[in-house]
Amino acid sequence: MNILAVTIGGAIGSLLRYLLGLTLAKAFQNAFIPVSMIVVNALGSFGLGAFIAIEQLASDSFIYATIAIGFFGGFTTFSTFSVEALDLFSQKRYVHMIVYVSLSVLLSIGFFILGYAILVQG
């Protein structure tokens, strides 16, 4: 049953990532770094942090598989982040790559902590 939960959550998360990514890519098409994946990964980290903070939901294996593993696993994307970082490197845009990698990591971790803290404190 958890395989189905991960599949459904992953499909929904991937579709939302794709649609949000398209929208953000158009809005930030002239940005010097790939803003859309930074935003998607930060939002996904925030959501996962908030979800983990809700112990009653996070402790149910079916709900955890659907939301934490499936949805947020499909919504966030380390692979696209890696491709975009390598693209910046191969174009010799080293400062852009450092900014992109730094912002991606710091914002993702920071937003996870923020999402968690809001619900734990709230």
Question: What are the tens digits of pLDDT across the range 14-63?
Answer: 999 999 999 999 999 999 999 999 999 999 999 999 999 987 777 888 99
Dist CA 75 CA 41 (whole Å): 8
Is residue 76 marked as binding?
A: yes
Dist CA 50 CA 113 (whole Å): 8
Q: What is the pLDDT of residue 3?
A: 95
Work out how many domains the chain is built from and give that number.
1
Is residue 23 marked as binding?
A: no
Dist CA 15 CA 66 (whole Å): 15
Amino acid at 28: F
Domain that holds residue 33: 2-121
Residue 104 in contact with residue 37, Cβ under 8 Å?
yes
User: Considering the entire predicted model, what is its pTM?
Assistant: 0.91
